[in-house]
Amino acid sequence: MPGTNLTRAEAEARAAHLQVQSYEVRLDLTSDGPTFDSTTTVRFTSSDPSQPCWLDLIAPTVTSVVLNGETVDPSGVYDGARVALTGIGEQNEVTVTAQCAYMTTGEGLHRFVDPVDKQTYLYSQFEVPDARRVFAVFEQPDLKASFAFTVDAPHDWVVVSNTHAEVAQHDDGKTWSFAPTQPIPSYITAVCAGPYHVERSEYSGSHGTVPLAVYCRQSLVEHLDADEIFDITRRGFAFFEELFDYPYPFGAYDQLFVPEFNAGAMENAGCVTYRDEYLFRSRVTDAAYERRAETILHEMAHMWFGDLVTMRWWNDLWLNESFATWASVLAQSEATRWTEAWTTFASAEKLWALRQDQLPTTHPIAAEITDLEDVETNFDGITYAKGAAVLKQLVAWVGWDAFVAGLRRYFARHAFDNTTMADLFAELEAESGRDLSAWETEWLRTAGVNTLRPVVAVVDNAGLAQYTSVTIHQEAPDEHDTLRRHRVAVGLYDAGPNGLTRRDRIELDVTGERTEVPELAGQRVPDLLLVNDDDLTFTKIRFDATSLATLDKHVGDLHDSLPRSLAWTGLTDMLRDAELSASRFVTLVLAGVARESDLSVVQTLLAQGRVAVEMYSDPTHRDALRDRWAAGLGRRVRQADPGGDHQLALVRAWAAAASSEQDIAEMRGLLDGSHEMPGLVLDRDLRWQLLQRLVVKGHVGAAAIEAEAETDRTAAGERQAALARAALPTLTDKQAVWDAIMTPSALSNSTMEACLAGFMPAEQSDLLAAFVDPYFSSVLDVHEQRTFHTAERIITGLFPRVQVSAATVERARALAEGADTPKAVARMLREGAADVERALRAQKRDTAG
Ligand SMILES: [Zn+2]
C-alpha cells in the first residue's frame, strides 16, 4: 500500500490551518461497475494558504479538478492517493470528479450480488481511511464538516445515508438528495444502496421521538427478527439518554444488516451497519443473541461517544472503543434481559485482553499512533477489552456518581467538537476531586498485566482452620514492570446446600508488592478465597492451595455466575501460563461445563478445551486426550436437555472433535436422517458443521460438498461450501485454495474469510507443513499488493500456527526483524510466533503432568 499512509504530523499540520465548512457529494450508482462516478465539492477556509494542502482520494481515474474556478490538469496534481491543492486562498471551493471503484474487500463502497436472486447491494465502510475510496475528502477525524450526499440509483433501490432524503423520480431511476449532516468526521458518513427490505418503528423518550428502521437483503427477510432488534434499540436509547443526559443527536436511527461485512458493525451517524450473519438463519444459542445485543448497544453508545464528541486523532481510538464496550455491557446488564452481562465480559472480553496484553507486541492503552498503519493494527484486545476493563476500574476509583456527572459535563461541553482524553479526565477530576495523573500513568501509559496472588497463613484453632494473615502479592512481568493501584474486592466462599456461596466481601486498595488484608486475620478459612471478586480491576489472579483444590472439584458449584466466570478465567489463564496441564484443564471443563448456566461462558470453555487438546497437550499422548475429550463431550450431549442451548453448544463442540468410528457413524447417520438426537434440529449450519468434520477427517470429499451446496444456494451456503473445500485433506485441494487466496481479486472478503477458516485444522498439520516455506516467502508481497484488511486477514490466517515448533518461532521472528518488513507485518509475525511459543511451554507442562 505505498503512498496511502497519512501521518499524525501531516494531519496536525493540515488541521492547523484548515477549517472545512461543507461537502456536496454526488454519486451515480446506476452503473454495474467496475466504477461509479463521484463528484465532490468542498468549501473550506485556510488561515495560512502557504501551507501544504491536499484532498485524499483513491480512485482509478480522476477526471477533473476545479479549484476556485480554475480548471487544473488532474495528471499534474493526483498521485493515486492525494489531490494536491496548490494556490489555495483563504476562502476556497474545489470540485473533484472521479471514477471510483466498487470494492469487494469490505473497504470503501462494497458491492455484493446475492446468489439467491442476483440482486445487487452496496454499502460503505469508511473507518479508518476509506471514505477517500468514494469521494475526495480531508480524511482525518478532526476536520469535521457538514456532508450532503446526492445519489442516483435504479428505480427499485432504496438509498440510506446519515440524514433523510428527498427523492425525485425520472426516466433513468431516482435521485436521492440527503439533507446536510451536522458537523461530523468523514469516517462515520455512510451510503448504502440496493433493493433492501425495510421495517420501521420508533422510540419515544423524554427528549422526543426517534424514527427507527432496520434493513436487510430480500433473501434474509425470513430471518429478520425486527421486533427483538427494535426492543433492544428502544431500551438502549432510554438508558443512554438518561445516563448521558443528552438527547440522541442525529435525527432518525437506521440499522442495516449488510453482506460480507469485515467487522461486527460500524457506528455511522444515524446509519449503523452490521454484518448480516447477525440475522440468524439457523438455530443459535442465547450467547449469540447476547452478543448481538451487545453490538447493537455498542454502536449506539458511539452516537454520543465518538460521533457527537470525536477523538482529535486516532491515538484516542482506545477511549472511543473501550467506552462503547464498557457502556454497552453496562446497558445490557441494567436495561435488557441479560442482567449478567458482566459475567460474559469477565470471560470472553477478559481472555481477549489477557492474550493481547501478554504478546510481545502489546502496547499501552493510550498508544502512540503516528500514522494510519498504527491505527489499523490497533483494533485489538487492548483497545476494546482491556480498555473497557480499565474503565470499569476507573469507575471504581472515582466512584459512580462522579463518573456519571463528569460524563454529562463532557457531552454538554464538547458536543459536535473534537477532544482528547485530557478533556474527559478534566471533567472526571473536577467531579471526583481526585488527581488522576498517577492513575493515568499507571493504567494508560504503561503496558502489561499484573498478577494478584493471595498468600495465606493458617492456624488450626480447636479443629477450625483460621487465617492468621492474608497478603495479596502483586507481580508484574519483567518487560512491563509497573505495579499499579488496584481497587479490588476479595470474596470468601463456603460450600453449602446452595453450592459455593459468598460469606463475606472486603473491598480495599491493593498497592505495591504486598498488601495485607487485616480484616481477614482471625476469619475462618473459606473453601474459596477469590481475589478480584466482582471483577473491579484488570488483573490476572491466582488461588491459594485450598482454593485451588476446591475449584479442582467444585468450580461448577459456585452459585453466582460472575465469580464462577472469574474462576474459570483464572484457570484458563493458568493453562495458558503452563501452570495447569492441558490434561487437567480438559478434565475440569468436562466436569464443569454441563452445569455452567451462562452460555457465553459455556462456549468460551468449549473453545478453550479444544485449544488445550489440539495446541497445548503433549503430542505423544494427544490422540488419547482427543479421544477422551470427544467421548466426554459425546456423553454430555446425550445427557443434555433435548432441544436446549446446552445440547446445541455441546453438539457443536463434539462435532468439532469427533473422530472415533462410532462418532463418525453417528454424524453420518444424523446427516442422512437414519439417526436422530431427541430435540436436535439438523438445520443448515449444523448440517454444514457435521459435513465439514467428515471432510477434515477424510470421510467424504468434494462430491458430498457439492451435493450439500446444491441444497443451499445462498451467500451463507457459499461460504460454508468454501470452508468445507478449504478443509479437504489432499495436497492438490490445499494448493488450489492457497492459489485462490494468493491471487489478488480472486475472492471476495467473505469467501476469503471462509477459505482461511477452513484451511488449517490442527489435525492436518503434517499435510500443511508444505505451506510453511510459501507462507514466509509471500508475506511481504501480500502486504504490498492487498488492501489493509485483506493483507491482515491473509497474513494472520495463514500463519503456520499448527506447526508448533521452535523452527516456526525462529523463522517468524527472523522475518519480523527484516529491514524490509513493514511494522504492521512485523507485528503480525511476532504475535504468531508468541502464540506458538506459548503452546510449546504449555506442551512441556502437559508432559510433566
Ligand atoms: Zn466501536
Cis peptide before 42, with omega less than 30 degrees from 0? no
State the CB neighbour count (10 A cutoff) for residue 324.
Answer: 25
C-alpha cell at 58: 483513491
State the CB neighbour count (10 A cutoff) for residue 467.
Answer: 20
State the CB neighbour count (10 A cutoff) for residue 488.
Answer: 24
CA 260 – ligand 1 centroid, Å: 18
Q: Residue 768: which of 727, 806, 740, 818 has the closest Cα?
A: 727
pLDDT value of residue 109: 98
Q: Is there a contact between 626 and 658 (Cβ–Cβ < 8 Å)?
A: no
pLDDT value of residue 378: 86
Count Cα atoms within 13 angstroms, Cβ side, for 244.
Answer: 30
What confidence tier does 159 reach under pLDDT thresholds 50, 70, 90?
Answer: very high
pLDDT value of residue 144: 98
How does pLDDT run across 603-632, given as a tens digit for each residue?
Answer: 999 999 999 999 999 999 999 999 999 999
State the CB neighbour count (10 A cutoff) for residue 12.
Answer: 13
* Dihedral over Cα of 792, 794, 799, 802: its sign: positive
pLDDT value of residue 376: 85
Measured CA to CA, the distance from residue 763 to residue 776 in angstroms comes to: 21
Dihedral over alpha carbons 103, 109, 113, 116 (to 10 degrees): 130
Whether 594 has a pLDDT exceeding 90, the answer reads: no
Residues whose CB falls within 8 Å of the CB of residue 484, separated by 6 or more in sequence, listed in order = 442, 443, 450, 474, 511
In angstroms, how far is the first alpha carbon of the chain from the final one?
48
What confidence tier does 330 reach under pLDDT thresholds 50, 70, 90?
Answer: very high
Partner residues linked to 39 by β-bridges = 26, 97
pLDDT value of residue 807: 98
CA 324 – ligand 1 centroid, Å: 6
How does pLDDT run across 475-523, given as a tens digit for each residue?
Answer: 999 999 999 999 999 999 999 999 999 999 999 999 999 999 999 999 9
Place of cell 468439532: 656
Instruction: Please state the separation of Cα 419 from the chain's center in Å.
Output: 24
How does pLDDT run across 369-427, given as a tens digit for each residue?
Answer: 999 988 888 889 999 999 999 999 999 999 999 999 999 999 999 999 999 999 999 99
- Helix residue ranges per DSSP H, 111-225: none
CA 319 – ligand 1 centroid, Å: 10
How does pLDDT run across 708-767, given as a tens digit for each residue?
Answer: 999 999 999 999 999 999 999 999 999 999 999 999 989 999 999 999 999 999 999 999
How does pLDDT run across 649-661, given as a tens digit for each residue?
Answer: 999 999 999 999 9
pLDDT value of residue 377: 83
Residues whose CB falls within 8 Å of the CB of residue 294, separated by 6 or more in sequence, listed in order = 328, 329, 332, 341, 344
Query: What is the average per-residue pLDDT within 514-533?
Result: 97
CA 264 – ligand 1 centroid, Å: 9
pLDDT value of residue 1: 37
Measured CA to CA, the distance from residue 330 to residue 307 in angstroms comes to: 19
pLDDT value of residue 93: 98
CA 523 – ligand 1 centroid, Å: 45
Query: What is the average per-residue pLDDT within 662-683?
Result: 96
- In the 8-state DSSP scheme, what is residue 7? B
How does pLDDT run across 172-226, given as a tens digit for each residue?
Answer: 999 999 999 999 999 999 999 999 999 999 999 999 999 999 999 999 999 999 9
pTM of the model: 0.96
CA 373 – ligand 1 centroid, Å: 18
Helix axes 599-614, 286-304, angle to 10 degrees: 110
Query: What is the average per-residue pLDDT within 4-27?
Result: 96
Whether 535 has a pLDDT exceeding 80, the answer reads: yes
SS3 for 241-269, per residue?
Answer: HHHHCCCCCCCCEEEEEECCCCCCEECCC
Residues whose CB falls within 8 Å of the CB of residue 829, separated by 6 or more in sequence, listed in order = 779, 795, 799, 812, 813, 815, 816, 821
CA 383 – ligand 1 centroid, Å: 10
CA 495 – ligand 1 centroid, Å: 41
Partner residues linked to 194 by β-bridges = 158
CA 266 – ligand 1 centroid, Å: 7
CA 273 – ligand 1 centroid, Å: 12
Q: Is there a contact between 503 and 525 (Cβ–Cβ < 8 Å)?
A: no
> Which residue type sits at 188?
I
CA 416 – ligand 1 centroid, Å: 18
Query: What is the average per-residue pLDDT within 219-248?
Result: 98
Q: List C-alpha distances in Å: 544 to 152, 528, 549, 551.
A: 67, 8, 9, 11
User: What residues act catalytically?
Assistant: 299
Measured CA to CA, the distance from residue 807 to residue 813 in angstroms comes to: 10
Whether 2 has a pLDDT exceeding 60, the answer reads: no
What confidence tier does 849 reach under pLDDT thresholds 50, 70, 90?
Answer: confident
CA 569 – ligand 1 centroid, Å: 24
What confidence tier does 20 reach under pLDDT thresholds 50, 70, 90?
Answer: very high
Mean pLDDT of the chain: 96
pLDDT value of residue 185: 98
Query: What is the average per-residue pLDDT within 557-577?
Result: 96
Place of cell 465502510: 125
Percentage above 70 pLDDT, the chain = 100
DSSP 166-177: EEEEETTEEEEE
Q: Is there a contact between 509 and 485 (Cβ–Cβ < 8 Å)?
A: yes
Phi/psi class of residue 100: alpha, beta or left (left: φ > 0; alpha: ψ in -120 to 50)? beta
How does pLDDT run across 634-644, given as a tens digit for each residue?
Answer: 999 999 999 99
